[in-house]
Amino acid sequence: MTSTTTRFDTRLAPCGRQVRGEQFVTEDQQGLTTRDLRFDCGCQTHHEEFHDGSVHNQVVNHHGKVVADEELRGE
């Protein structure tokens, strides 16, 4: 399993602001990948790709409100 944490310069956060933040990526080398973006304003995005091709995306604004939560099923 590998994990990386990187700092990014300004990106468009879910709230519409251009802010900096951190990206966390984890891979298990068998098909599971997790990518989290944490923006300095408090917004977050969470993206998971599973072994079967399924995908889960969640977006939370800096007030803690979930603005998107979707699952796409693989084969």
The model's pLDDT over 28-60, given as tens digits with 9 standing for 90+, comes to 988 899 999 999 999 999 999 998 889 999 999
The pLDDT, as a whole number, for residue 30 is 84
CA angle 34, 39, 73 (to 5 degrees): 30
Residues 2-30: tens digit of each pLDDT: 999 999 999 999 999 999 999 999 999 88
Confidence of residue 74 (pLDDT cuts 50, 70, 90): confident
**What CA–CA distance (Å, rounded) separates 16 from 65?**
14
User: What does the CA dihedral 54, 59, 65, 67 come to, rounded to 10 degrees?
Assistant: -80
Query: What is the side-by-side order of every strand in the sheet holding 33-39?
Result: 2-12, 18-27, 33-39, 44-49, 55-60, 66-72
Could you tell me the pTM of the whole model?
0.86
Instruction: Assign 51 to helix, strand or coil.
Output: coil
